């Protein structure tokens, strides 16, 4: 384990992590890290940031209708889309079987 190093706190609380530690933990410029309070002090650790897409109701309806397999499932998807307050005829999709 590497020996502890002193780091000065700059304006607005900015700190500069030593290059060796950044390399060791894969922390690059622009990376997100987590600052977690502990009984011993502050623990800094790399964060995992996952992108996600938030789907509109219209996009959800499109998924339902396009992923229906067979006529029974398609009818259920139509009912569910109508239950969402949407008109299935206005949602871009292909009916099962072409």
Distance CA 88, CA 91 (A): 5
Contact 35, 44 (CB under 8 A): yes
Q: What's the pLDDT score for residue 97? A: 76
How far is 87 from 62, CA to CA, in rounded Å? Answer: 11
pLDDT digits (tens, 9 = 90+) for 19-60: 988 998 889 998 999 999 999 999 999 888 888 889 999 999
Residue 2 has pLDDT above 90, yes or no: no
Domains of the chain, by residue range, sit at: 11-46, 57-90
Strand partners of residue 45: 34
**What are residue 8's phi and psi, to 5 degrees?**
-85, 145
Taking the C-alpha atoms of residue 45 and residue 35, their distance in angstroms, rounded to an integer, is 7
Paired with 98 in beta bridges are: none
pTM comes to 0.50
């Amino acid at each position: 384990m590497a020996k502890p190093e002193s780091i000065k706190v700059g304006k607005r609380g900015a700190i500069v992590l030593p290059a060796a530690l950044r390399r060791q933990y894969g922390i690059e410029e622009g990376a997100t890290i987590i600052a977690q309070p502990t009984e011993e002090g502050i623990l800094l650790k790399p964060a995992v940031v996952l992108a996600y897409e938030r789907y509109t109701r219209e996009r959800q309806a499109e998924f339902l209708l396009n992923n229906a397999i067979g006529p029974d499932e398609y009818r259920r998807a139509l009912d569910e889309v109508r239950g969402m307050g949407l008109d299935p005829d206005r949602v871009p999709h292909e009916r099962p079987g072409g």
